[in-house]
Amino acid sequence: MNPPNLTQKLDARKEQGAFRTLRLSALSIDFCSNDYLGIARGRKLTHDPGLSSGSTGSRLLAGNYPLLNMVEEEIATFHHAEAALVYNSGYDANVGLLSCVPQKGDTILYDALSHASIRDGIRLSFAQAFSFQHNDVEDLEKKLKAASRGSIYVVTESLFSMDGDFCPLEPIVELCTRYGAFLIIDEAHATGVEGAKGEGLVQHKGLEHACFARMHTFGKALGCHGAAILGSTLLKEYLINFSRSLIYTTALPPASAGLIKASYHLFPGMEAERAHLRALIKQFQAALLPYTRVGGVSPIQAVLIPGNEAVKSVAAQLQESGLDVRPILYPTVPKDAERLRIVLHAFNTHEEVELLVNLLRKKV
Protein backbone atom coordinates (compact mmCIF):
# COMPACT_ATOMS: atom_id res chain seq x y z
CA MET A 1 0.00 0.00 0.00
CA ASN A 2 1.29 3.45 -0.90
CA PRO A 3 0.04 6.89 0.17
CA PRO A 4 -2.02 8.55 -2.62
CA ASN A 5 0.25 11.55 -2.99
CA LEU A 6 3.09 9.49 -4.45
CA THR A 7 1.26 8.68 -7.67
CA GLN A 8 -0.31 12.16 -7.87
CA LYS A 9 3.00 13.97 -7.57
CA LEU A 10 4.76 11.61 -9.98
CA ASP A 11 1.96 12.08 -12.52
CA ALA A 12 2.31 15.84 -12.20
CA ARG A 13 6.06 15.51 -12.87
CA LYS A 14 5.33 13.42 -15.96
CA GLU A 15 2.88 16.01 -17.25
CA GLN A 16 5.53 18.72 -16.78
CA GLY A 17 8.02 16.59 -18.72
CA ALA A 18 10.21 16.64 -15.59
CA PHE A 19 10.05 12.97 -14.55
CA ARG A 20 13.48 11.72 -13.41
CA THR A 21 14.90 8.21 -13.81
CA LEU A 22 18.28 6.67 -13.00
CA ARG A 23 20.04 6.24 -16.33
CA LEU A 24 23.20 4.39 -17.23
CA SER A 25 25.41 6.04 -19.81
CA ALA A 26 27.25 4.04 -22.42
CA LEU A 27 28.55 7.16 -24.14
CA SER A 28 32.30 7.65 -24.03
CA ILE A 29 32.75 11.37 -24.72
CA ASP A 30 32.07 12.78 -21.27
CA PHE A 31 30.59 16.25 -21.11
CA CYS A 32 28.53 15.39 -18.07
CA SER A 33 30.52 14.28 -15.03
CA ASN A 34 32.20 16.52 -12.43
CA ASP A 35 35.52 14.69 -12.84
CA TYR A 36 37.12 17.98 -13.96
CA LEU A 37 40.74 16.77 -13.85
CA GLY A 38 40.01 13.24 -15.01
CA ILE A 39 41.33 11.76 -11.76
CA ALA A 40 38.49 9.23 -11.36
CA ARG A 41 38.34 8.30 -15.03
CA GLY A 42 42.12 7.97 -15.33
CA ARG A 43 42.24 5.77 -12.20
CA LYS A 44 44.97 8.03 -10.84
CA LEU A 45 44.19 7.22 -7.21
CA THR A 46 44.06 3.44 -7.52
CA HIS A 47 45.59 0.94 -9.91
CA ASP A 48 42.91 -1.63 -9.14
CA PRO A 49 40.95 -1.96 -12.42
CA GLY A 50 37.81 -2.85 -10.46
CA LEU A 51 37.79 0.37 -8.49
CA SER A 52 37.02 3.72 -10.00
CA SER A 53 37.69 6.16 -7.17
CA GLY A 54 34.74 8.50 -7.59
CA SER A 55 31.23 8.24 -8.93
CA THR A 56 31.75 11.73 -10.45
CA GLY A 57 28.24 13.04 -9.90
CA SER A 58 24.70 12.65 -8.64
CA ARG A 59 22.90 9.38 -9.37
CA LEU A 60 20.68 11.44 -11.65
CA LEU A 61 23.60 12.60 -13.77
CA ALA A 62 26.95 10.83 -14.20
CA GLY A 63 26.97 9.08 -10.81
CA ASN A 64 24.81 6.07 -11.65
CA TYR A 65 26.62 2.88 -12.65
CA PRO A 66 25.78 -0.82 -13.17
CA LEU A 67 27.38 -2.08 -9.94
CA LEU A 68 25.21 0.22 -7.83
CA ASN A 69 22.08 -0.96 -9.62
CA MET A 70 23.15 -4.58 -9.12
CA VAL A 71 23.75 -3.96 -5.41
CA GLU A 72 20.26 -2.49 -5.07
CA GLU A 73 18.71 -5.51 -6.76
CA GLU A 74 20.61 -7.90 -4.48
CA ILE A 75 19.66 -5.95 -1.36
CA ALA A 76 15.98 -5.87 -2.36
CA THR A 77 15.99 -9.63 -2.98
CA PHE A 78 17.75 -10.39 0.31
CA HIS A 79 15.32 -8.22 2.31
CA HIS A 80 12.16 -9.42 0.48
CA ALA A 81 11.39 -5.92 -0.79
CA GLU A 82 10.10 -4.82 -4.17
CA ALA A 83 12.88 -2.23 -4.47
CA ALA A 84 15.91 -0.79 -2.70
CA LEU A 85 17.48 2.64 -3.11
CA VAL A 86 21.00 3.27 -1.85
CA TYR A 87 21.84 6.52 -0.06
CA ASN A 88 25.24 7.82 1.01
CA SER A 89 24.44 7.27 4.69
CA GLY A 90 21.65 6.39 7.07
CA TYR A 91 21.42 10.05 8.01
CA ASP A 92 20.84 10.99 4.36
CA ALA A 93 18.33 8.17 3.93
CA ASN A 94 16.15 9.16 6.89
CA VAL A 95 16.31 12.85 6.05
CA GLY A 96 15.65 12.19 2.37
CA LEU A 97 12.66 9.94 3.05
CA LEU A 98 10.92 11.87 5.81
CA SER A 99 11.40 15.31 4.30
CA CYS A 100 9.66 14.46 1.02
CA VAL A 101 7.09 11.69 1.51
CA PRO A 102 4.74 13.07 4.21
CA GLN A 103 2.93 16.15 2.84
CA LYS A 104 1.25 19.23 4.29
CA GLY A 105 -1.91 18.00 5.99
CA ASP A 106 -0.38 14.60 6.81
CA THR A 107 0.64 13.50 10.31
CA ILE A 108 3.89 11.88 11.44
CA LEU A 109 3.93 10.02 14.76
CA TYR A 110 7.44 9.16 15.91
CA ASP A 111 8.97 7.48 18.94
CA ALA A 112 10.24 10.05 21.43
CA LEU A 113 13.71 8.47 21.43
CA SER A 114 14.07 8.51 17.65
CA HIS A 115 17.51 9.19 16.17
CA ALA A 116 18.51 12.73 15.16
CA SER A 117 18.30 11.81 11.46
CA ILE A 118 14.61 10.94 11.87
CA ARG A 119 13.94 14.18 13.74
CA ASP A 120 15.83 16.27 11.19
CA GLY A 121 13.90 14.67 8.33
CA ILE A 122 10.64 15.42 10.13
CA ARG A 123 11.69 19.04 10.69
CA LEU A 124 12.18 19.46 6.97
CA SER A 125 8.73 18.06 6.22
CA PHE A 126 5.58 20.18 5.90
CA ALA A 127 3.52 17.53 7.71
CA GLN A 128 2.53 17.98 11.35
CA ALA A 129 4.44 15.74 13.75
CA PHE A 130 3.91 14.43 17.27
CA SER A 131 6.09 12.12 19.33
CA PHE A 132 4.69 9.15 21.24
CA GLN A 133 6.27 7.95 24.46
CA HIS A 134 9.13 5.57 23.94
CA ASN A 135 7.85 2.10 22.94
CA ASP A 136 4.45 2.98 24.44
CA VAL A 137 1.77 1.34 22.30
CA GLU A 138 -1.11 2.88 24.30
CA ASP A 139 0.26 6.36 23.79
CA LEU A 140 0.72 5.64 20.09
CA GLU A 141 -2.91 4.56 19.83
CA LYS A 142 -4.05 7.75 21.58
CA LYS A 143 -2.11 9.80 19.02
CA LEU A 144 -3.43 7.68 16.14
CA LYS A 145 -7.01 8.32 17.30
CA ALA A 146 -6.34 12.06 17.44
CA ALA A 147 -4.75 12.20 13.96
CA SER A 148 -7.71 12.49 11.65
CA ARG A 149 -6.43 14.37 8.61
CA GLY A 150 -4.36 13.19 5.65
CA SER A 151 -2.06 10.20 5.58
CA ILE A 152 -0.57 9.07 8.89
CA TYR A 153 3.04 7.89 9.14
CA VAL A 154 4.38 6.01 12.16
CA VAL A 155 8.18 6.09 12.49
CA THR A 156 10.29 4.10 14.90
CA GLU A 157 13.53 2.14 15.21
CA SER A 158 13.66 -1.64 15.48
CA LEU A 159 16.64 -1.50 17.88
CA PHE A 160 17.24 1.76 19.73
CA SER A 161 20.76 3.08 19.55
CA MET A 162 21.09 4.42 23.10
CA ASP A 163 18.95 2.02 25.17
CA GLY A 164 19.54 -1.17 23.19
CA ASP A 165 15.87 -2.13 23.45
CA PHE A 166 13.64 -3.33 20.61
CA CYS A 167 10.40 -1.69 19.55
CA PRO A 168 7.22 -3.71 20.20
CA LEU A 169 6.92 -4.44 16.49
CA GLU A 170 3.86 -6.71 16.38
CA PRO A 171 1.51 -4.38 18.33
CA ILE A 172 2.77 -1.40 16.31
CA VAL A 173 2.07 -3.27 13.06
CA GLU A 174 -1.38 -4.21 14.38
CA LEU A 175 -2.17 -0.56 15.21
CA CYS A 176 -0.88 0.70 11.86
CA THR A 177 -3.04 -1.86 10.07
CA ARG A 178 -6.12 -0.94 12.15
CA TYR A 179 -5.67 2.83 11.66
CA GLY A 180 -4.43 2.64 8.06
CA ALA A 181 -1.10 4.25 8.98
CA PHE A 182 2.10 3.88 6.94
CA LEU A 183 4.86 2.28 9.00
CA ILE A 184 8.52 3.29 8.61
CA ILE A 185 11.13 1.26 10.50
CA ASP A 186 14.76 2.27 10.95
CA GLU A 187 16.76 -0.99 11.12
CA ALA A 188 20.17 0.73 11.53
CA HIS A 189 21.29 -1.27 14.56
CA ALA A 190 19.41 -4.50 13.80
CA THR A 191 20.93 -4.99 10.34
CA GLY A 192 23.43 -7.84 10.34
CA VAL A 193 22.62 -8.70 13.95
CA GLU A 194 18.94 -9.58 14.28
CA GLY A 195 17.46 -12.67 12.63
CA ALA A 196 19.09 -15.95 11.58
CA LYS A 197 20.86 -14.25 8.65
CA GLY A 198 21.12 -10.75 10.12
CA GLU A 199 18.19 -9.64 7.98
CA GLY A 200 16.80 -7.28 10.64
CA LEU A 201 13.90 -7.39 13.06
CA VAL A 202 11.08 -6.80 10.58
CA GLN A 203 12.00 -9.71 8.35
CA HIS A 204 12.90 -11.89 11.33
CA LYS A 205 9.27 -11.49 12.42
CA GLY A 206 7.97 -11.96 8.87
CA LEU A 207 6.43 -8.46 8.86
CA GLU A 208 8.16 -6.93 5.87
CA HIS A 209 4.90 -6.58 3.94
CA ALA A 210 3.34 -4.60 6.79
CA CYS A 211 5.97 -1.85 6.41
CA PHE A 212 5.70 1.03 4.01
CA ALA A 213 9.47 1.61 4.22
CA ARG A 214 12.49 0.16 5.98
CA MET A 215 15.88 1.79 6.35
CA HIS A 216 19.03 -0.35 6.64
CA THR A 217 22.50 1.09 7.25
CA PHE A 218 25.83 -0.36 6.15
CA GLY A 219 28.15 1.58 8.47
CA LYS A 220 27.41 -0.47 11.58
CA ALA A 221 27.37 -4.31 11.64
CA LEU A 222 28.06 -4.43 7.88
CA GLY A 223 31.43 -2.74 8.37
CA CYS A 224 31.30 -0.35 5.42
CA HIS A 225 29.26 2.77 4.63
CA GLY A 226 25.94 3.87 3.14
CA ALA A 227 22.32 2.87 3.60
CA ALA A 228 19.25 1.73 1.69
CA ILE A 229 15.57 2.44 1.82
CA LEU A 230 13.42 -0.58 1.04
CA GLY A 231 9.87 -0.28 -0.19
CA SER A 232 7.71 -0.41 -3.28
CA THR A 233 8.92 0.36 -6.80
CA LEU A 234 6.61 3.39 -6.68
CA LEU A 235 8.32 4.65 -3.51
CA LYS A 236 11.71 4.26 -5.18
CA GLU A 237 10.51 6.22 -8.23
CA TYR A 238 9.14 8.90 -5.94
CA LEU A 239 12.39 9.22 -3.99
CA ILE A 240 14.41 9.46 -7.21
CA ASN A 241 12.21 12.41 -8.13
CA PHE A 242 11.78 14.22 -4.82
CA SER A 243 14.35 13.10 -2.23
CA ARG A 244 16.83 15.94 -2.04
CA SER A 245 19.55 14.10 -0.08
CA LEU A 246 19.65 11.56 -2.92
CA ILE A 247 19.38 13.96 -5.82
CA TYR A 248 21.67 16.81 -4.78
CA THR A 249 24.77 14.91 -3.73
CA THR A 250 27.56 12.90 -5.34
CA ALA A 251 26.72 9.19 -5.35
CA LEU A 252 28.75 6.62 -3.40
CA PRO A 253 31.89 5.57 -5.31
CA PRO A 254 32.18 2.12 -6.91
CA ALA A 255 34.61 1.07 -4.15
CA SER A 256 31.81 1.58 -1.59
CA ALA A 257 29.26 -0.26 -3.73
CA GLY A 258 31.73 -3.15 -4.03
CA LEU A 259 32.18 -3.26 -0.25
CA ILE A 260 28.42 -3.22 0.37
CA LYS A 261 27.99 -6.10 -2.10
CA ALA A 262 30.81 -8.06 -0.45
CA SER A 263 29.32 -7.48 3.00
CA TYR A 264 25.89 -8.73 1.84
CA HIS A 265 27.65 -11.89 0.65
CA LEU A 266 29.42 -12.26 3.99
CA PHE A 267 27.22 -11.33 6.96
CA PRO A 268 24.25 -13.67 6.30
CA GLY A 269 26.63 -16.60 6.87
CA MET A 270 28.07 -15.25 10.13
CA GLU A 271 25.85 -17.40 12.35
CA ALA A 272 28.74 -18.40 14.63
CA GLU A 273 29.61 -14.74 15.25
CA ARG A 274 25.96 -13.89 16.01
CA ALA A 275 25.73 -16.86 18.41
CA HIS A 276 28.92 -15.78 20.23
CA LEU A 277 27.63 -12.21 20.42
CA ARG A 278 24.36 -13.43 21.97
CA ALA A 279 26.34 -15.47 24.53
CA LEU A 280 28.33 -12.34 25.49
CA ILE A 281 25.13 -10.31 25.84
CA LYS A 282 23.64 -12.97 28.13
CA GLN A 283 26.87 -13.06 30.18
CA PHE A 284 26.78 -9.27 30.58
CA GLN A 285 23.07 -9.19 31.46
CA ALA A 286 23.44 -12.08 33.92
CA ALA A 287 25.90 -9.94 35.89
CA LEU A 288 22.93 -7.59 36.51
CA LEU A 289 24.95 -4.61 37.54
CA PRO A 290 23.13 -2.01 39.58
CA TYR A 291 21.77 0.64 37.17
CA THR A 292 22.05 -1.62 34.12
CA ARG A 293 19.04 -0.86 32.02
CA VAL A 294 18.16 -4.30 30.73
CA GLY A 295 16.97 -3.74 27.22
CA GLY A 296 16.77 -6.52 24.69
CA VAL A 297 19.25 -9.24 23.84
CA SER A 298 21.10 -6.66 21.80
CA PRO A 299 24.74 -5.62 21.45
CA ILE A 300 23.94 -2.23 23.00
CA GLN A 301 23.79 -2.27 26.82
CA ALA A 302 23.20 0.87 28.85
CA VAL A 303 24.67 1.34 32.32
CA LEU A 304 23.01 4.39 33.84
CA ILE A 305 25.28 6.72 35.82
CA PRO A 306 23.31 9.94 36.33
CA GLY A 307 25.17 13.22 35.82
CA ASN A 308 27.60 14.20 33.07
CA GLU A 309 30.58 14.49 35.45
CA ALA A 310 29.87 11.17 37.19
CA VAL A 311 29.56 9.19 33.95
CA LYS A 312 32.62 10.86 32.43
CA SER A 313 34.66 9.95 35.51
CA VAL A 314 33.69 6.24 35.41
CA ALA A 315 34.40 6.10 31.67
CA ALA A 316 37.83 7.67 32.25
CA GLN A 317 38.65 5.06 34.92
CA LEU A 318 37.65 2.21 32.59
CA GLN A 319 39.73 3.76 29.82
CA GLU A 320 42.75 3.84 32.16
CA SER A 321 42.35 0.05 32.42
CA GLY A 322 42.47 -0.23 28.63
CA LEU A 323 38.72 -0.57 27.98
CA ASP A 324 37.31 1.69 25.28
CA VAL A 325 34.00 2.59 26.90
CA ARG A 326 32.37 5.94 26.09
CA PRO A 327 30.04 8.07 28.19
CA ILE A 328 26.81 9.34 26.64
CA LEU A 329 26.00 12.74 28.07
CA TYR A 330 23.01 15.03 28.44
CA PRO A 331 21.63 16.43 26.08
CA THR A 332 22.23 13.44 23.79
CA VAL A 333 20.20 11.47 26.37
CA PRO A 334 17.70 12.93 28.89
CA LYS A 335 19.01 14.50 32.11
CA ASP A 336 19.69 11.88 34.81
CA ALA A 337 19.71 9.14 32.15
CA GLU A 338 23.38 9.72 31.33
CA ARG A 339 25.03 6.38 30.74
CA LEU A 340 27.91 4.25 29.63
CA ARG A 341 26.93 2.82 26.28
CA ILE A 342 28.49 -0.62 26.27
CA VAL A 343 28.71 -2.11 22.80
CA LEU A 344 29.43 -5.84 22.65
CA HIS A 345 30.97 -7.39 19.53
CA ALA A 346 31.51 -10.88 18.16
CA PHE A 347 35.27 -10.29 18.47
CA ASN A 348 35.07 -9.61 22.24
CA THR A 349 35.89 -12.54 24.50
CA HIS A 350 34.17 -13.87 27.63
CA GLU A 351 37.32 -12.84 29.56
CA GLU A 352 37.02 -9.26 28.31
CA VAL A 353 33.36 -9.10 29.36
CA GLU A 354 34.32 -10.55 32.76
CA LEU A 355 36.98 -7.83 33.15
CA LEU A 356 34.47 -5.14 32.20
CA VAL A 357 31.84 -6.46 34.62
CA ASN A 358 34.35 -6.71 37.48
CA LEU A 359 35.62 -3.17 36.95
CA LEU A 360 32.07 -1.83 36.65
CA ARG A 361 31.07 -3.55 39.88
CA LYS A 362 33.72 -1.55 41.73
CA LYS A 363 32.76 1.75 40.09
CA VAL A 364 28.98 1.94 40.03
Positions marked catalytic: 34, 115, 157, 161, 186, 189, 220
- Which 8-37 positions form the footprint of ligand PLP (CB under 6 A)? none
Check residue 157 for interaction with ligand PLP (CB under 6 A). yes
Check residue 94 for interaction with ligand PLP (CB under 6 A). yes
Smallest distance from ligand PLP to CB 160, Å: 7
Q: Which is nearer to ligand PLP, 115 or 274 (CB)?
A: 115
Smallest distance from ligand PLP to CB 163, Å: 11
Among 65, 78, 91, 166, binds ligand PLP (CB under 6 A): 91
Check residue 99 for interaction with ligand PLP (CB under 6 A). no
Nearest alpha-carbon partner for 87 in 129, 117, 53 = 117
Among 129, 227, 281, 314, binds ligand PLP (CB under 6 A): 227
Smallest distance from ligand PLP to CB 20, Å: 24
Residue nearest to ligand PLP (CB): 90
Q: Which is nearer to ligand PLP, 33 or 245 (CB)?
A: 245
Instruction: Specify the stretch interacting with ligand PLP by CB under 6 A; choose among 62-70, 89-97, 296-304, 325-333.
Output: 89-97
- Which 175-194 positions form the footprint of ligand PLP (CB under 6 A)? 186, 188-189
Check residue 135 for interaction with ligand PLP (CB under 6 A). no
Check residue 90 for interaction with ligand PLP (CB under 6 A). yes
Smallest distance from ligand PLP to CB 68, Å: 17
Q: Which is nearer to ligand PLP, 55 or 114 (CB)?
A: 114
Q: Which is nearer to ligand PLP, 61 or 343 (CB)?
A: 343
Check residue 339 for interaction with ligand PLP (CB under 6 A). no
Give Dmax (Cα) for the chain. 69
Residues in touch with ligand PLP (CB under 6 A) = 89-91, 94, 115, 117, 157, 161, 186, 188-189, 217, 219, 227
